[in-house]
Every structure is written in C-alpha cells, then in structure tokens.
C-alpha cells in the first residue's frame, strides 16, 4: 500500500498515477491526508453487462468496481485486486437515474474521507486510521454522460469543450460532425489560413479553455432533477442534466479530471 | 480504449467500404459540395445512375485484396490477439467479428504494415502517424516533456484527416483524440484508466452465473 511513495524509482518520468499532477495536487491541498502514505486512492469503474448471454439480448446489469491506485501498476488492474463494491441489477440500464443506486457507496466514501475507520495492520500488528479518496471514474462515453450528468449527444457533445464545441450539421448525411480541429493549433500555423483544403473558410477562433471542477460545480448546483419516470415537459433545455452525486464528496470539485 | 476502438473501426470501415460501417458515400460527397470544398468529388448523374468519383482514400479491388491478404498472412504469438486469419474474409474483402483487443492490436502494430504501398503517400503517412500516436500514448513509461509534442501531433493529425476524409467521419470519438493527451498530463496513464481490465473482469463475473434466476447471488 505504501509502494507508491517508497518502493519505486523516481526519475522524473511518468511511471505511476502517483507521478500525475492531480495526485500531487490532492496531497498539497489536504496535507493531513497526503502525509499519511497508507491512505487509499480509489478509482471507480462501471459499465453495463449482460448476465444472461444469449438468453436475453436486452438485459443489462451494472457492476460498480473499485480499483486501488496505491498498489504497484502491475497489480492494480488485476482481477484479484479489483473490488466489486455493488451491483445495480435490473433488466434495464439505469440511464440518468444511476445516481440513486450508488448513494450508500457515496455515504461510505464520505465517512471514510471525513473520519476514517480503525483498521488492523497485520504486518506491523498495530491499529491505524484509514482514510479513502476517490480519484477518478473509468467508464465508456455513454456512461460518462450518465455519471457526470452532461448530455453527451447532440450538438454540444464534448464535455471538455462544453459550450464552445464546434459542430457542423450535415444536410445530406443528417448527422452532426465535429470538424474544426484547426482551432486547437498554435496561432501562427499555416493550416489556419487554408480554405479549400478544409471547410472553405479561414479559422480565427482559439481553443476553448477546459472547465475546472469548481466551474462545473457552479453550473450544476442550480439544476433541479427528479429521478424516475416523469411526464416529459418542454422546459428550458440545459446541457447539464443533473448535479452528479459525486459532488457530495467534499474534494470532488477540486479535481481537474473527474471522469 | 473506446476512442481507439471506435476510431479504428471507422477507419477500416471507410477504407474497405464495409456496408453499415463506412463513413463515405453519396451523402458525404453531397455534403462536401454543400460546403464548397473538394468539388472534384461531386457525384455525376449518368442517366438513371450516379457516378461517384473515387476519393483519395478509396481502394480498388486489387488494393483491397492486397490489404486483406496482408492481414491474412499475419501470425501472432499465442495470447497476443485472436487469430487474425480467421477474422479476414477474402470473399467479401472485409474484416468480421473483431473484438476490442483486436482493434487495439491492429491500431498499435498491424495497420501501418497492412497499408504499405496501397495509398497515396500523404494518406498513408497520416494513418501511420495516427497509429504511432496511439502507440506512444499507450506506453508504460512516458516522458512528461514529450507530452506537448504529442498534443501538437494529435491536433495536426486531426487537421490532416480533415483534409482527406469526408466530414461524416468526424464523430465525437474522433474529436476526443484532441483531449487524450490533456488527460494523460493531468491524471496519469492510459493503461491505468482504460476499460480492458474492467471488461475482462466483467466477463469473469458473467461466467459465475450458474442459476439464471438469481444471477446476483451467484456472482457474490
């Protein structure tokens, strides 16, 4: 569990999640948490799976798995060290209502972050206080939309560009495509002046700055949502559909990449 | 992982002109005309039929045979990927039944070899560089000073893809390539955050289900 701080080589290269800026940022923000190396950093993964194989084509259950990032990188993604923390059963996928199910898990995580629990260390034969932090979630793109409460379909499908996503509605293909990648180039790049080779016009917009966690929190804290089946009403459309349940964790809005 | 898989899927679908997976077609050409670019690809009506001029990424039948033949000849070590030979159908000239791991292997190693000598040089270079980019970000040790270089590379690659491929190729998965390097810079590795181990884990859970009436109990 302490391998990430004292068991490995540190030579300035990226080798483990502990080298990443996000990990270091948490350590520096919460000094008390960061100073004890045995405190756990977890990753949460979820995806739909069909338990019945060929017997049913539509069934989908959602296991929620926890990954311990403290372990060395050749162990932490092994089946033996991945914990099945809960199982969202049901013939249908939960969709946007997924937040209802992990609330006991989030409650536990909250308790583990605020106070911690007493755990026995069998190697040194002492009790110690264990605290846990949820570092990120791992999921595919539709589940990403469900967990974060962002609408990942339609014109503004990219969560990182958010409102500044550049899209183009194709008239004949009847699809939305996200083309203008030239805006991410450096300002003096020759591609910016070309017209014929790209979409017929020069590009002068700059790349949109990605949102930080606090900005996202400010946007979603006003959103009202009722879970479950409701009558559809034609209200104001918002690209943020809900305030994700992960924001109940006090550190969640401090993370730069949450999902 | 899903970005890599979906991008590879749409590249192969477009190159081999697989029905249902290709992003190129009469509507894509009409859209290009609508945007006012690459007018040489405009569909030309000939009586009842319409002639679609070949784009730079279109393969002739012989080129497709050489592409599929190359993949059919590949032998891989045991456990590396599924037997590629069984995935290639020489009658229909397409790839069938690929798993996500096979897409990964294709993208990392095999695709640059398979497209040798069949495209115009610029298109070939773009696809090869895309594969090399995916190879570079999936490494186990990354030099943080190289990340800026990789990010620029990703953007230039996407711009070049825009030059050669039709606009309908650029769905949201292709767009997400831009943000991959940012995620690595902030959050660490791809191989610690991808779905392959999770999906493998789920397959194991699926095998535990012996009593279909109580699947959850049999897993727990």
Nearest CA-CA distance, residue A162 and chain B, Å: 12
Check pLDDT > 80 for residue A224: no
DSSP code, position B106: I
pLDDT of residue B128: 92
CB contact under 8 A, B188 and A17: yes
DSSP code, position B192: T
In the numeric block, which tokens belong to residue A73? Answer: 């990188």
CB contact under 8 A, A179 and B171: no
B-chain residue closest to A23, CA distance:
B187
DSSP code, position A210: P
Check pLDDT > 60 for residue A234: no
Residues of A in contact with B122 (CB under 8 A): none
- Residue located via tokens 């004292």: A6
Percent of chain A at pLDDT above 90? 0
CA distance A117 to A38: 13
pLDDT digits (tens, 9 = 90+) for A53-108: 777 778 888 888 888 888 887 888 888 888 888 888 777 888 778 888 888 888 88
CB contact under 8 A, A181 and B194: no
pLDDT of residue A231: 64
pLDDT digits (tens, 9 = 90+) for B6-65: 888 888 888 888 887 888 888 888 888 888 888 888 888 888 888 888 888 888 888 889
Chain B interface, mutation test: which of A177, A198, A200, most B Cβ atoms within 10 Å?
A: A177
What is the pLDDT of chain A when averaged over all its residues? 81
- Across the interface, which of A16, A21, A184 has its CB nearest the CB of B186? A21
Q: Are A46 and A139 in contact (CB under 8 A)?
A: yes
- Across the interface, which of A16, A49, A179 has its CB nearest the CB of B202? A49
pLDDT digits (tens, 9 = 90+) for A206-218: 888 887 778 888 8
- A233: confidence class by pLDDT, cuts 50, 70, 90: low
Beta bridge partners of A63: A87
Cβ–Cβ contact B209 with A under 8 A: yes
Residues of B in contact with A135 (CB under 8 A): 187
Check pLDDT > 70 for residue A193: yes
pLDDT digits (tens, 9 = 90+) for B170-191: 888 888 888 888 888 888 777 7
Cβ–Cβ contact B113 with A under 8 A: no
Measured CA to CA in angstroms, residue A136 lies from A54, A68, A71, A140, A198 at distances of 33, 11, 16, 13, 37
In the numeric block, which tokens belong to residue B20? Answer: 């249902």
Beta bridge partners of A120: A127
CB contact under 8 A, A139 and B195: yes
Check pLDDT > 60 for residue A9: yes
pLDDT of residue B54: 84
Q: Kindly report the pTM of this predicted structure.
A: 0.88
Burial of B181 (0-12, 13-18, 19+ CB in 10 A): buried
DSSP code, position B101: H
B-chain residue closest to A198, CA distance:
B163
pLDDT digits (tens, 9 = 90+) for B81-104: 888 888 888 888 888 888 888 888
In the numeric block, which tokens belong to residue A69? Answer: 């990032």
Check pLDDT > 80 for residue A48: yes
Q: Are A15 and A9 in contact (CB under 8 A)?
A: yes
Per DSSP bridges, beta strands A168-169 and A176-177 are: antiparallel
Query: How many CA atoms does the CB half-sphere of A108 hold within 13 Å?
Result: 7
> What phi, psi does A136 have (nearest 5°)?
-160, 170
């Amino acid at each position: 569990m302490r391998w990430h701080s004292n068991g490995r080589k540190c030579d300035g290269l990226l080798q483990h999640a502990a080298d990443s800026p996000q990990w270091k940022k948490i350590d520096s923000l919460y000094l008390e948490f960061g100073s004890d190396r045995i405190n756990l950093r977890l990753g949460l993964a979820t995806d739909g799976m069909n338990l019945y194989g060929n017997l049913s084509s539509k069934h989908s259950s959602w296991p929620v798995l926890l990954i311990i990032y403290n372990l060395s990188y050749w162990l932490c993604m092994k089946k033996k060290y991945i914990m099945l923390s809960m199982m969202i059963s049901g013939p249908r996928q939960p969709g946007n209502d997924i937040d209802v199910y992990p609330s006991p898990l989030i409650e536990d995580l909250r308790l583990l972050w605020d106070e911690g629990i007493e755990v026995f260390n069998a190697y040194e034969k002492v009790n110690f206080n264990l605290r846990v932090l949820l570092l990120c979630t791992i999921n595919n793109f539709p589940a990403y939309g469900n967990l974060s409460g962002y609408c990942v379909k339609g014109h503004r499908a990219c969560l990182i560009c958010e409102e500044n996503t550049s899209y183009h509605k194709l008239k004949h293909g009847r699809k939305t495509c996200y083309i203008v990648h030239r805006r991410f180039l450096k300002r003096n790049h020759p591609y910016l002046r070309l017209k014929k080779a790209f979409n017929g016009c020069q590009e002068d917009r700059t790349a949109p700055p990605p949102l930080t966690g606090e900005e996202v929190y400010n946007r979603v804290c006003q959103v009202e949502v009722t879970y479950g089946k409701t009558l559809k009403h034609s209200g104001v459309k918002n690209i943020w559909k809900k305030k994700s349940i992960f924001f109940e964790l006090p550190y969640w809005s401090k993370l730069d990449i949450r999902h | 992982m899903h970005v890599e898989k979906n991008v590879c899927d749409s590249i192969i679908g477009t190159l081999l002109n697989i029905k249902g997976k290709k992003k190129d077609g009469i509507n894509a050409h009409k859209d290009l005309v609508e945007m006012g670019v690459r007018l040489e690809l405009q569909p030309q009506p000939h009586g009842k039929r319409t002639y679609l001029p070949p784009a730079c990424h279109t393969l002739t039948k012989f080129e497709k045979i050489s592409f599929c033949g190359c993949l059919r000849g590949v032998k891989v070590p045991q456990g590396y990927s599924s037997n590629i030979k069984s995935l290639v159908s020489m009658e229909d000239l397409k790839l069938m039944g690929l798993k996500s791991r096979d897409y990964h292997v294709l993208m990392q190693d095999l695709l640059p070899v398979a497209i040798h000598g069949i495209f115009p040089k610029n298109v070939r270079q773009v696809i090869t560089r895309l594969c090399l980019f995916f190879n570079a970000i999936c490494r186990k040790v990354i030099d943080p000073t190289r990340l800026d270089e990789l990010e620029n590379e990703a953007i230039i690659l996407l711009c070049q893809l825009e030059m050669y491929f039709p606009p309908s190729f650029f769905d949201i998965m292709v767009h997400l390539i831009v943000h991959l390097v940012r995620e690595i810079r902030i959050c660490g590795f791809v191989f610690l955050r991808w779905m392959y181990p999770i999906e493998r884990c789920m397959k194991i859970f699926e095998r535990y289900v012996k009593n279909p009436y109580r699947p959850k109990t049999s897993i727990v």
